[in-house]
Amino acid sequence: MTLLNLQPSALGLSAVLLALVFAAATWGVGRVPAINSRATQSWAWTLVTMALSLVCWSWGQDKGFLISFLLGNTLVVLCSVLFLRSMCCLVGQAVHVGCLMAQFVVGVSGIAAVLLASAPRSYAVVSIALSFFFAATGALVVLSRHRKIRASVAGWVLIACLGAVCLFFVAFRLLVMAFGGGAEAVQPMAATQVQGLAMWVAHLIVMVASLSFMWVLFEQRREALQARSQLDELTGVLSRSAFLDSALKPLEHATVYSVAVLDVDQLDTFNERFGRALGDAVLQHVTAQAARALRGMDLIGRFGGDEFCILLPHGDEAEAQAVSRHICQSVAANPLQGLPGPELRCSVSMGVATAWVPSQLASVTMPDLQAAIQRASDAMFLAKSMGGQQVQVAHAGAFDAHRAQPYDAGHLARV
């Protein structure tokens, strides 16, 4: 009972110090490379705003009603708005400014009613509680819909904290107002046991939520660095090893799939005449044009200096031809941007191979995929030998027949 009977000033001071410590820690975390800086800044300002509101509540009563009531309660409403924004930033979810403004207006409506219409202070308690309830439920929806948050222990801890805000802290304030002893119950820092318990719960929520928030940030950083290590630094597409590691999963239930191999025509000539910087720009231009033509499920990886491989899960020969033709036309039709001097254009050669998966096969294996890639690569070399800037197709028969007998150049046709 001793902890519950602490003076309001002592509870307020401890809460302010706790919020400021975690705000400083969050700002420190934000300086770590590859950390979500928007989320850290928003969360740090949430904690600072909370600390300032507690300062107004605890020590502003001697300075006048406007500081303790108006400024303190307005700051805590602003804290609820920043709280929701922080959770949205954590998962990269855009939050409409109008939504945040509506939340703020709801929160301050009770404060305005007390100041302008001499309404009971319980109006302010209800409006502030609604603002926090809106923030917590909105954050719960945003986080629970995020697949990686649901798969993370830290994410579930954070969701549990938000649930505590919804089911305990906000409801507790409303219950205190209704059954906690009259006018004293609506004082923000009233020295009652029930208010003391609410303050200690607030301490716990701030601490656990801040720790889990930073835990999620570091998990996101680890995933981002891991994803970055799987990408080709120059073009931003998958590396060869990452492409092969990722390729089998989208083919688990495929009955047909296609592979296209792309090679930039005369890249060595670009490098010799204009330097490797321009050659790098050509590769970036080609991958950008190719990425625009791909579907959401398709994969593209860099297999060599100027050779790229594209996987089209569930894509038949006609779809693969259409996508490859579109890539060739887009690369040839669009000049390189941001370069001095005359307009420069490049072209690509592509080979396409399609594989049908018999129903008796459980899934596509790596040798099957590599065989399809090899057929597409041979088709690409034929396209280059015929002058480039074209698509050649290795016409596919049954999936198992290609494993039993190799195709020959007679099965290649120009698109």
Choose among 324, 320, 307: nearest CA to 239. Answer: 307
Of 291 and 13, which is predicted with more confidence?
291
Instruction: Look at residue 104 in the predicted model and tell me its pLDDT.
Output: 94
Region class of 13: left (phi > 0), else alpha (psi between -120 and 50), else beta: alpha
Query: Across residues 105-114, what is the average pLDDT?
Result: 91
Segment 157-170, tens digit of pLDDT: 888 877 776 666 56
When mean pLDDT is compared over 38-52, 275-289, 325-339, the highest value belongs to 38-52
Q: What is the chain's mean pLDDT, rounded? A: 80
Q: Minimal CA–CA distance to 70: which of 19, 18, 128?
A: 128
List the alpha helices (DSSP H) in 165-261. 171-179, 193-229, 240-247
313 strand-pairing partners: 257
* Beta strands 391-394; 348-356: pairing state: parallel
Q: What is the Cα–Cα distance from 403 to 358, expressed in whole angstroms? A: 13
User: Using an 8 Å Cβ cutoff, are 46 and 83 in contact?
Assistant: yes
Asked if 275 contacts 385 with a C-beta cutoff of 8 angstroms, the reply is no
- Encoding tokens for residue 225? 């660095």
Instruction: Give per-residue pLDDT as tens, 211-251.
Output: 888 988 888 888 777 767 778 878 888 888 888 888 888 88
In DSSP terms, 49 is beta-bridged to none
Please, are residues 344 and 336 in contact by the beta-carbon 8 Å criterion? yes
Average pLDDT for 93-122:
88
Residue 134: CB partners within 8 Å, gap ≥ 6?
80, 84, 103, 106
Q: Is 346 helix (H, G, I), strand (E, B) or coil?
A: coil
Confidence of residue 412 (pLDDT cuts 50, 70, 90): very low
Q: Contact at 8 Å (CB) between 156 and 146?
A: no
Average pLDDT over residues 39-56: 90
Hey, where are the domains in the chain?
Answer: 8-229, 240-414
Please state which CATH class domain 240-414 belongs to: alpha beta
The answer to whether 285 and 304 have CB atoms below 8 angstroms apart is: no
The pLDDT tens digits of the residues spanning 370-405 come to 999 999 999 999 999 998 889 999 865 433 333 323
389 against 408, higher pLDDT? 389
408 SS3 class: coil
Q: Kindly state the greatest CA–CA separation across the chain.
A: 94
More confident of the two residues 392 and 297 = 392
pTM for the model stands at 0.60
Work out the average pLDDT over 289-314: 89
Q: How confident is the model at residue 195 (pLDDT cuts 50, 70, 90)?
A: low
Q: For residue 362, what pLDDT is reported? A: 63
